[in-house]
Each structure stands twice: as structure tokens, then as C-alpha cells.
Structure 1
Amino acid sequence: MNAQSELVAQVRRTGTLPDLPDGLYLDGGFRPATSRRTMESFDPGKGEAFASFARGDADDVDAAVTSAARAFEAGWRDTAPVERGRILARVAQLILAEADRLAIAECLDSGKTLAEAEGDVRGAARAFEYYAGACDKLEGKTFPLGAGYLGYSLHEPVGVTAHVIPWNYPISTAARGLAPALAAGCTVVAKPAEQTPFTALMLADILSRAGLPAGVCNVVTGTGAEAGAPLVGHPGIAHVTFTGSVATGKRVMKSAADHVTRLVLELGGKSPVIVLKDCDREAALNGVLGAIFENAGQICSAGSRLVIERRIADSFLEELVARTRRLTLGHGLRNPDMGPVSSAEHLAKISGFVERARTRGSEILTGGNIASDPQTGQGWFFEPTIIADRPADDELVQEEVFGPVLTVQIAEDADHALELANGTPFGLVAGIYTSDHGTAHRLARRLDAGQVFINEYFAGGIEVPFGGTKLSGFGREKGLEGLLSYCRTKSVAAKL
């Protein structure tokens, strides 16, 4: 039995992971919340609490921002880029060295399968590795002002940055925000979702052990109302990176406006997967399945709408339904095909969408019901679900379910598919499956989305900028554009 298997066996025996972080992470160490209050974190695969964590509030947020501001002014902003890069590179190495423990914590906290959590941990390490290499490549420009003048620009760190981290991808979303912020010379206050606090705390400890000075990264756990709202509205915050719902994103924008605080908002989507008659059928089937059922459909960029050309729709859907019915459910530590959803409240929300669809006469091709772990009868599960062709104004087409529910739309040809794909208020990502590369790139140009995948859904990585249009938000994370999100440009013009 290897080390990971032994740790999984221990978790199964005890119901928890030993030595989880205890407290908020402030000024280089763990400490209890000022109020001394705690909250429980639940294992979605069982529907039971497995650990408790500190319930921070506005006083803790203020202490974290003060610590981050002090660390920014005391030297992190002026730390040589090459030294920042060395610290971030050590972070990547430590994440990989402790990958088993991080993945199991993520699996318990979020419910996702262990394989998915392992992929997220590797992605977090890659984010720190990528931005470690970018620290000393953040170059300004010179301006041709003519003889007798010198003009140039500087990329300066914006200051203290706030990161509101969602529950569906806790460690990977934290890494894609923290790594570029730290690379640019900013300091950080992170607020993980109340459902999934632990890997952000574990990451902060890793950063410290890699050599990050005290106060440069702080983590305040707690509820959105008690910790999140005071953080995004704090006058000491220079930039907010938020990933979450449209409704909450609007509140964040309004709060940030009081202090004219910069924002990057990633607010979800209703992303289409366009499948045309000349597609590679096997690649398209696998892509559609992964796009909607990975992480139980709880992905902002999930391919939740299948826009398929009529000529192949019947045979494609027949095979897609057959494969969907073979998907296994279960606790994430057993590595089934699909794990649970995040909470009882979210399960009820998903079920509500499907039940309303039933009352509208929707044809449910497969799934459509609340389920449980077949081995234990526990947990918050929803069957992988496919719902037949719905009109463009249907709720299942227009609104984000954020669960394992795929809605089908039938297109007459590529142009009709484009019209259907663009027919929602969201614009995060889109997928295209076709063997005609000319058609693929023509559609890619006209799709109203921040990112387009061609012949492989979720293609790309940390190198590729990510963000949306319309209700999906604005600003970009990942890639070098993500690094620039944490910089302000200063121009200098001098007469010589």
C-alpha cells in the first residue's frame, strides 16, 4: 500500500484528515478568529461534517489587510523579481511534494473525485511554476518622443489584493489568482468559500515555508456576509478578484465602487458545445460528456448546452445517453465517474430546475433525479441528466444550473448553431467539434465568448487567458494577461 492509499484508508476509518489547519492564517501564522467562533465543513459524499474551522469577521479582515499593507510597504513590492520567482518555484515544488494530502483534503471538502482533485493540485503547482518564470519578464516599454526626450513605462504592483475563492475549484482558483498577484509584487488577503476552506489555508502555509515573508499572504475563513463583504468593501484593498455567481458579483461591484477598487470578475456561464455533422464523433462524445459531467457539472465553464446539427442528432444522442447511463456515482475517495454536488442547498437548487422542466413538459432522456452513494446511501448526489431539445427562451437554456444537467438544442446548420450558441446573456466559453477548420475558426471569431475550444473541450492551460463577456464578467486570469491584472502602468516622460 502506497502513502496515498494509506492516507485514504485512514480517512475512511476516521471520517476526517488528521492535522488540518486550525485557525485563520494571518501575518505568517495560524491564529483563532477574534471572536473565537468556528464553523463546520461538510463532506458532500456523506452529507456529514468532518472538521471545523475559524469563523472570521470584519475585525479579522481588518487585521489581515493591515498585515498585507505593512508587508507590501516593508519590502515585498521592492523584492527583486528573480527572488520572487525563486520563492514561487519552491511553492510549486512543495505543492507537488504534498500533493496526496492536498488532493484528499480537496476531495473531502468539495466532494469531487480524487482523480479530479489530483488534477487540480497539479494545476495549482503549474500556476506557481508558470508565474515564477514570469516574475523577471514583466517589462515596460519605451516611447519614441524624439531627440532630447526619454519616455518609458513601468509595471508597478497595485498593492493589497483581495481574492474571493469559489467552492467548486478551491485550490486551483486560489493558485491562478495568488500566483500572478505575488509575482507582480502585490500582497494578498484570500477569502475561501465557507464550504471549502482548507486547501487555501494549506496553501498559505506552503507559501510561508517556501520563504514568503510574513504578511504577504493572509487567509480569512468564514461566511460571505461576515468575512467576504467586509473584505471586498475594505478601503485598504486595491484590487478584487472574484469568482462566483452573477448576483454576488453585482454586489461585489457595488461595494468596490465605493472606493473605486479595481476588479476582475468571473461570474459563470451557460456555455454551448457546438457539434456539427462532420465532427470526429468519438472525440465529440467524449468531449460533451466531460464538459458537463466533470466535477458533477459544477464548473463555471461547463458545456451545459449541446448545440447539435439535426442531421446527426438522433444517433449522437442515442450513444450519448447510453454512455451517460453507464457513469458511476460515489464518494470521491473511491474515484467513481462522478461525485456528489457541494451541499444539500445546491442539490435542492439543481433538482428545482429539473422539476420545473418536467412541469413544462420537457423530455428527460436520462437521469433527472436526486440520488445517493450506492454503497452507503449517503451524500448529496444528482443523476447525470440529459434533457431533450428545448426552445431558446427556456429556463434551462438561459439560466445556469451549475450541476450535471445537459440541455440539448437542435441546429439546422453551422450558422443556426452560431445563432443558438450566442443566444444567452452569458459568454464565458464555447466548444466546437468539426473537421472543417475553416468553419471552426469562422465560428470562433463570431462566438460571443471569452474563450473558444476547438475539437477538445477544456483545451489549454495556465498559459491561456481566461475570462468572459456579458454576464460572465470581465477581466482576464491566467496567461501574461492575468499577470497584468495585478499591475498598474506608470508612464514617465523626461526632457534630457
Structure 2
Amino acid sequence: MAFDATADHIKAGMFVGGDWLFPHPREVIEVENPADETVIGTIPAGTPEDADQAIRSAAQAQRAWSVLPAIERGRAVSRLARLIERRSEEFARLITREQGKPITQARGEVGATVGFLDYAAENARRIGGDIVASDNPNEEIQIRRHPYGVVVGLTAWNYPAALAARKIGPALVAGNAFVMLAHEFTPFSGLFIAALAKEAGIPDGVLNVVTGRGPVIGQALVEHPATAMITMTGSNRAGREIFRTAADGMKVLRLELGGKAPFIVMEDADLDRAVAAALTARYTNCGQICTCNERMYLHRDIADAFLDRFVAASKALRIGDPMGDPDLGPKVSGAEVAKIAGQVDQAVASGAQLLLPGGPLTDGAYAKGHWYAPTVLEVADNAAAIMQEEVFGPVVPAMRVDDFDHALRLANDTGFGLSAYVFTRDHRRLMRTPAALKFGEIYVNRANGEQFQAFHNGWGQSGLGGEDGQYGFDGYLRKQTLYMNWDE
């Protein structure tokens, strides 16, 4: 394997057409460890020419790949899953080095990576169609499914391995070829998968991974005339830019964007369970998950008791070297720390009360790295920016509500529509929840964590399309209608 994930300094090329490309002379991008700011490796800053080469390689390989029996494509993806499984500890340590999540959480991400690939492989025998009765004699109508061709994947830095597998698996099993732009903060996870894909026998050009900056090589991938479909996980700003760029070419889009998940706790909830779930849903991966608990709506009768427990538990969380497996590791970058610090400062200036000051950590063991301690605020105005804008860090505001209807009204007062949480034991409230909450994914009496066989999709400003399960898999196939007439 040309890519050495265990090296102290990783010098990685792009993986295009089954080869490792180290273009020279070329600007390189340094990749740092968020825990101590050391440079762990370099990647090429890709150009539009690199994008063109990757897309052309994928288009050429896709033709032969698409005519293979689906079961053969599924077996190749399954072999990739087994290779990742065999090297799971090495992979987890790589994820922690480049992204900063605690090692146990990185191991969980590797497990999810394997799970996404396995689920996709299982769908190889489920690519079906329909036969519909025709109005004409001696005729039937067939609805068939075909791959799109070349799929471009743009992945986020918060789960660089799992998000890649979530897209690569179904795209390949469906018969597409795939070109992925690995995020410049966390490129090595995608390159690790690419190296193992070659070992798994996935044909050259079927999976390509390029590196560089989104506005340069990413835009070139999106604009390329041979790109048929774009699947992206990232910010709303980036999603809107891709939407505009892809419009001229009428590209098919699947955009999983940001969230501002409400966390509703009613007076009849199991408080121990709700507090535990609120902690998990806010602080896992240092709050860098689009489905995170972003704003809490607490019934007045239990608000004090809930906040007392939540603040005490938040304060007790261990922050430190992610290889030592703390509760919280670092934020991914200094810019991310500055962004959320600014959001908290603005909230306090607008009248929010700090229940747990938290904030940036910069002294002693935290002199190097990008550290931010859990921060809890109480807010009185749902229009405040801290209640409307995604934080994506270990900061959570809370508001008191009078009743369930009040909570629903405030929860829906947002442009986002990805995830929501409800804690209540009232059957009538539970039955109302799906129709009342305008979100694509709702967790009832549990923390977050979607499953492979379900469907992960956002409404409104949280995106288009969706991932996972049969619905997600079908999104990588387009339909064709065939009127089969045998009248002589």
C-alpha cells in the first residue's frame, strides 16, 4: 500500500485511476493534529486539471463496472469492509490524529464505516424495478433502475471515514463510479479507504480520491460536464454554493447540511434518561455532529432540576488528549474555536445568562491545541442568534417553556429541519409528535445515533435527498420507463 497511515509524517498523493499521484511542482496543504497543532502530513492542493483527470478516469471505468452483476460489485465492497475491519485499530488512531475525537469514538467511527459498506453490499440483490399494467393490449410497462454514471462526493471533516463510506458503498454497489474530495482538514481517512479499495480488487478508476480546497478543485468537480450526481455533507453555505454551481448542468443533488436540533423535555419525562441523552447528544465528538442537541426547551416544572443535573454533569466531563480517551477532545481547528467563542460572547451581550462559563482553554496542558470547555446558557428570546444559528461545538442554550404546544412552536421556529428530540411519557404527545415537528429525523426518549437501515434526511435548509437504508440506496439509481409492446 503506497499510503502509510502509521508514518509520523504522512506524505500523501491523490488516488486517481488506481495510481498515487504526487504532482510536482505543486503547492501542498499541511494537515495538523488538533490536539497539539503538530503537522502530521501533507497533501497536494488539487487543481481543476486534477479534477478533470479524476472524472475522466471514473467515466472510463464506470462503463465496465456498471455491467458487472450487482452481486460482484457488492462482493468487492464487502471485501473492502473486511480489510478495514482487519486494520480497524490503525484506522481509528489515524482518525484521532487528524480529526481529534477521543480514541473510543474513533473506533466507533471505524465500526460505522464497516457497517455502511456492509449494508450497501447487502443491497446488491435488492436492485429491482416494477411492472405496471398498460392501458394497451399486448404491452407491459417496466420501470427499471440504472446507475447515474459518475458520482462526486464531498465529505465533511467531523466524520471523515464514516461519511465517506456512507456515500461510497451505495454509489459503487449501484454501479456508479465515484470521485471523492477528501476535506483538507481530514484527508487521510479517505485516502486510507482508497488504498484498501485497490487491495479489495475494486477496479482502477471506479473509486478516486482527490485532495485540495473546495473552492478550487471542489468547484471543478461539481462543474465538470461528466459529473452526473453530487452528494455532499457540509455547511449550508457550501450547500447553497453547490446548488447554484450545479444548476447550469442540471446535476442531481443530495445535500446533507446543517442542523439546529431542538431538545424538548416535558414535565413527565424520565429526567435521568433525558439528562444522559442530552449530554451524549451535545458533547459527543466535541459537539461536532449535525444532529447534535443544539437548543433545549425545558418545561418550567422541571427546568431547574434538569439544568442543575445537566450543568453538574457537563462540568465533570474530562477534556484532554484524545488518545487517552477523555470525554471531550479538541475542536478541529483554531478558527472553529474562535467562531463558537464569538457566538457565546454575542449571546451574553444580548442577555443570555451563563450557567456554565466553559469557553476556550489555553493554559497549561491546553497551551497547544484547539480546546473548548462545555458551556451552558439560559436564554429568554427564541429569536436570539444562539437559538437560531448552528453552533457545532460544546455549547448549548436552554429556554423554559409553558407546555408542549409552546415547545413545538419554538422548536419549529427555524429554517433548519434535520433532527429533533422529544422526552415525554404522555402517549397523546408522542402520537402528535411526527406531524407536529417539521424535521426529517426525530429521536423520542433517546439520544442521537441513526441506524444503517433507516433514512437520514433533512427538511428545509438542512438539505435535499437523504442517506441510509433502502431509500438512501435508491437515490444512487435513476429510473427508466420502458413500454414493451409485442403487438404484431
TM-score bracket, normalised by the shorter chain, equals over 0.9
Name the counterpart of 2:69. 80
Aligned residues of 2:11 and 2:41 also touching (Cα < 8 A)? no
Given candidates 193, 196, 208, the residue that maps to 1:206 is: 196
Offset at 1:409?
1.7
Is the partner of 1:340 in helix, strand or coil? coil
Is the partner of 1:471 in helix, strand or coil? helix
Name the counterpart of 1:335. 325
Aligned-partner Cα distance in 1 for 2:197–2:187: 16
Aligned residues of 1:153 and 1:489 also touching (Cα < 8 A)? yes
TM-score (normalizing by structure 2):
0.96
Aligned-partner Cα distance in 2 for 1:113–1:367: 23
Whichever residue aligns with residue 240 of structure 2, its letter is: K
Offset at 1:60?
0.6
Tell me if 1:93 matches 2:82. yes
Larger CA deviation: 454-463 vs 271-280: 454-463
Deviations 1:299-332 (A, max 9, x none): 1111111111111000110011000000011121
Aligned-partner Cα distance in 1 for 2:444–2:463: 22
Given candidates 35, 39, 56, the residue that maps to 1:49 is: 39
Offset at 1:228?
1.0
Change (3 A) 1:117 1:288: same
Offset at 1:182?
0.5
Tell me if 1:436 matches 2:426. yes
Tell me if 1:326 matches 2:316. yes
Whichever residue aligns with residue 285 of structure 2, its letter is: N
Name the counterpart of 2:472. 482
Name the counterpart of 2:131. 142
Name the counterpart of 1:133. 122
Aligned-partner Cα distance in 2 for 1:199–1:225: 21
Offset at 1:422?
0.6
Is the partner of 2:254 in helix, strand or coil? strand
Deviations 1:399-442 (A, max 9, x none): 11111110102111111111111111101000111122431231
Aligned-partner Cα distance in 1 for 2:284–2:363: 17
Larger CA deviation: 359-368 vs 324-333: 359-368
Offset at 1:238?
0.2
Name the counterpart of 1:389. 379
Tell me if 1:455 matches 2:456. no
Offset at 1:34?
5.8
Deviations 1:306-364 (A, max 9, x none): 11111100011001100000001112111111011111111110111011112223111
Deviations 1:15-35 (A, max 9, x none): x74484620001012111365
Whichever residue aligns with residue 106 of structure 1, its letter is: I
Given candidates 247, 251, 258, the residue that maps to 2:241 is: 251
Aligned-partner Cα distance in 1 for 2:54–2:258: 28
Change (3 A) 1:88 1:277: same
Larger CA deviation: 181-190 vs 89-98: 89-98
Whichever residue aligns with residue 416 of structure 2, its letter is: F
Aligned residues of 2:337 and 2:372 also touching (Cα < 8 A)? yes
Larger CA deviation: 236-245 vs 25-34: 25-34
Tell me if 1:471 matches 2:461. yes
TM-score (normalizing by structure 1):
0.94
Tell me if 1:237 matches 2:227. yes
Aligned residues of 1:354 and 1:368 also touching (Cα < 8 A)? no
Deviations 1:453-493 (A, max 9, x none): 11112244111111111111110111111111111100111
Q: Give me the identity figure in percent.
A: 34
Name the counterpart of 1:5. none
Whichever residue aligns with residue 72 of structure 1, its letter is: Q
Name the counterpart of 1:4. none
Name the counterpart of 2:280. 290
Aligned residues of 2:8 and 2:40 also touching (Cα < 8 A)? no
Whichever residue aligns with residue 122 of structure 2, its letter is: G
Offset at 1:234?
1.2
Name the counterpart of 2:339. 349
Deviations 1:172-202 (A, max 9, x none): 1101111110011000000011100001000
Offset at 1:389?
2.6
Name the counterpart of 1:410. 400
Aligned-partner Cα distance in 1 for 2:23–2:388: 41
Offset at 1:271?
0.5
Change (3 A) 1:459 1:444: farther
Tell me if 1:226 matches 2:213. no
Is the partner of 1:328 in helix, strand or coil? coil
Aligned residues of 1:431 and 1:454 also touching (Cα < 8 A)? yes
Aligned-partner Cα distance in 2 for 1:282–1:228: 45
Aligned-partner Cα distance in 1 for 2:38–2:385: 32
**Structure 2, unpaired ranges of 5+:** none
Larger CA deviation: 431-440 vs 106-115: 431-440
Is the partner of 2:185 in helix, strand or coil? coil
Whichever residue aligns with residue 97 of structure 2, its letter is: L
Aligned-partner Cα distance in 1 for 2:23–2:80: 26
Aligned residues of 2:351 and 2:379 also touching (Cα < 8 A)? no
Aligned-partner Cα distance in 1 for 2:33–2:214: 20
Tell me if 1:196 matches 2:186. yes
Name the counterpart of 2:21. 31
Name the counterpart of 1:102. 91
Whichever residue aligns with residue 442 of structure 2, its letter is: V
Aligned-partner Cα distance in 2 for 1:127–1:86: 14
Offset at 1:115?
1.1
Whichever residue aligns with residue 146 of structure 2, its letter is: E
Aligned-partner Cα distance in 1 for 2:463–2:321: 33
Name the counterpart of 1:6. none
Aligned-partner Cα distance in 1 for 2:41–2:471: 37
Tell me if 1:168 matches 2:161. no
Aligned-partner Cα distance in 2 for 1:152–1:388: 58
Is the partner of 1:427 in helix, strand or coil? coil
Offset at 1:286?
0.8
Offset at 1:390?
3.3
Change (3 A) 1:390 1:95: farther
Aligned residues of 1:24 and 1:54 also touching (Cα < 8 A)? yes
